[in-house]
């Protein structure tokens, strides 16, 4: 049945030289295809991602292509902020700043000489220390390896408030989302925020905000409703397929990945999204055909993460880890967006 439907779709498309959207609407009604974004649909979005990527030129100064801040890294977790920061660099950011606890800093520094690491997150002056850097940061990624220590989360609240006041775009993941679930008003209505929950984090957030369990048969509707309830900020529900919404549109990224899930994959996504968010907002909606630039950024980061997963899995199979995926960022980016 599915094969027949697919064949019919192809036939219809080749037979009718109509514009895509009305035809898609017709198809959705005729074949209830609304759950599946077709290849062609994804291809349109890929083109929009390509449009927001700044060209490499010799005229730019260091920092212009992205200075990304990461808020996270504590005694237990040092890998996540490293993965997020190095992914941002590999995607094309010029500089990354990790703001972590005093204890975590030397560990994170020892992973890589390429990161700037500030041991401030558990200090009494954390909010002020990070605030000083905010004017120089293009996006703040909040949550990788943050943990749930009360004092740290209190500081992160202050950092979120300062970032919003200064209009700094925010990507919130992991325990940053746990904080948001405790206090949704921290992010509600802030248009430059992107949340990247996995299914568990999504359910927690959904129940906190909508006071209702998630209908697991309607991912699209659930993501759309949560986005609207939070004031139309952009939400990426990571899963077998990534569902992305800004309260108005729903995009699905079903770029082929692999069946291998490793811890740290989400950090690759949040770090690369940090860069793409900056590029997308810089490019503006003229470059995205009127589509919300944050949706385009989110789609790009999801597709890239999946492609890295696929390529790493081809080489390493079951033993694939996030480090293998990060090694694929360059080639995967080139394959998806530069050819
Ligand atoms: C969010 O978007 C929906 C759909 O476009 C719109 O009806 C609603 O008013 C928007 N809400 C806010 C808070 O902007």
Highest mean pLDDT among 42-51, 125-134, 216-225: 125-134
- Tokens at 146, concatenated: 């943050």
Question: Which residue from 191, 223, 232, 248 has its CB within 8 A of the most atoms of ligand 1, so it is best to mutate?
Answer: 232
Structure confidence at residue 20 (pLDDT): 43
Q: Is this prediction's pTM over 0.85?
A: yes
For residue 139, the tally of other CB atoms under 10 A from its CB is: 29
- Going from the Cα of 229 to the center of ligand 1, the distance in angstroms, rounded, reads 9
Please tell me if the CB atom of residue 231 comes closer than 6 angstroms to any atom of ligand 1: yes
What's the half-sphere exposure (Cβ side, CA atoms, 13 Å) at 282? 17
The pLDDT value given to residue 63:
67
What confidence tier does 56 reach under pLDDT thresholds 50, 70, 90? confident
Residue 12 or 82, more confident: 82
Question: How many angstroms does the Cα of residue 233 sit away from the middle of ligand 1?
Answer: 10
| Residue of 191, 228, 249 best suited for mutating to test ligand 1, as the one with most atoms within 8 Å of CB | 228
Selected residue with higher pLDDT from 129 and 17: 129
Q: Return d(Cα 236, Cα 316) in angstroms, integer.
A: 27
Which residue did the predictor score with more confidence, 266 or 28? 266
Task: Give the pLDDT band of residue 58 (cuts 50, 70, 90).
Answer: confident
Nearest CA to ligand 1 atom 7: 248
Q: How far is the CA of 248 from the centre of ligand 1 (A)?
A: 7
Query: What are the Cα distances from residue 177, in Å, to 129, 202, 325?
Result: 22, 9, 24
Asked if residue 188 has its Cβ within 6 Å of ligand 1, the reply is: no
Q: In sequence order, what are the residues at sequence separation of 6 or more whose Cβ sits closer than 8 angstroms to the Cβ of residue 6?
A: none
Mean pLDDT of the 34-51 span:
73
The residue contributing the CA closest to ligand 1 atom 13 is 231
Tell whether ligand 1 has an atom less than 6 A from the beta carbon of residue 247.
yes
Q: Give the Å distances, CA to CA, from 162 to 66, 262, 322.
A: 20, 33, 32
If one residue of 209, 220, 247 were mutated to test the ligand 1 pocket, choosing by the most ligand atoms within 8 A of its CB, it would be 247
Mean pLDDT of the chain: 89
Q: What is the pLDDT of residue 17?
A: 36
Q: What pLDDT score was predicted for residue 57? A: 79
pLDDT tens figures, 262-282:
899 999 999 999 999 999 999
pLDDT (mean) for 83-108: 98
Q: Return the ligand 1 atom nearest residue 232 CA.
A: 1
Q: Is the pLDDT of residue 221 over 70?
A: yes
Digit-coded pLDDT (tens) for 188-208: 999 999 999 999 999 999 999
pLDDT-derived band of residue 29, with 50, 70 and 90 as boundaries? very low
Say what the pLDDT of residue 42 is.
86
Say yes or no to pLDDT of 28 above 50.
no
Question: What does the pLDDT look like over 142-187, one tens digit per residue?
Answer: 999 999 999 999 999 999 999 999 999 999 999 999 999 999 999 9
């Amino acid at each position: 049945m599915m094969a027949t439907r697919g064949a019919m779709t192809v036939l219809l498309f080749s037979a009718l030289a109509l514009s895509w959207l009305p035809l898609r609407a017709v198809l959705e009604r005729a074949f209830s295809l609304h759950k599946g974004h077709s290849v062609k649909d994804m291809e349109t979005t890929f083109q929009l991602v390509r449009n927001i990527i700044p060209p490499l030129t010799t005229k730019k100064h260091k920092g212009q292509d992205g200075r990304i801040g990461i808020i996270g890294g504590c005694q237990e977790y040092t890998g996540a902020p490293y993965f997020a920061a190095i992914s941002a660099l590999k995607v094309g950011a010029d500089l990354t700043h990790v703001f972590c606890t005093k204890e975590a800093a030397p560990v994170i520094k020892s992973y890589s000489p390429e990161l700037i690491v500030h041991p401030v997150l558990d200090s009494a002056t954390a909010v002020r220390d990070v605030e000083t850097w905010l004017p120089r940061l293009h996006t703040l990624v909040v949550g990788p390896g943050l943990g749930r220590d009360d004092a740290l989360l209190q500081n992160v609240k202050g950092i979120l408030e300062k970032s919003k006041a200064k209009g700094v775009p925010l990507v919130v993941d992991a325990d940053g989302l746990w904080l948001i679930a405790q206090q949704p008003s921290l992010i509600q209505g802030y248009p430059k925020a992107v949340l990247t929950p996995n299914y568990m984090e999504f359910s927690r957030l959904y129940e906190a905000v909508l006071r209702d369990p998630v209908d697991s048969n309607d991912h699209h509707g659930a993501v759309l409703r949560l986005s609207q309830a939070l004031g139309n900020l952009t939400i990426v529900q990571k899963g077998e397929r990534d569902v992305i919404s800004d309260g108005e549109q729903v995009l699905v990224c079903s770029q082929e990945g692999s069946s291998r899930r490793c811890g740290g994959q989400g950090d690759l996504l949040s770090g690369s999204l940090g860069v793409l968010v900056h590029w997308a907002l810089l490019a503006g909606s003229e470059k995205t055909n009127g589509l919300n630039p944050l949706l385009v950024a989110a789609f790009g980061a999801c597709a890239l993460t999946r492609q890295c997963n696929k390529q790493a899995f081809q080489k390493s199979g079951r033993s694939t880890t996030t480090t293998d995926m990060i090694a694929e960022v360059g080639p995967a980016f080139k394959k998806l967006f530069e050819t």
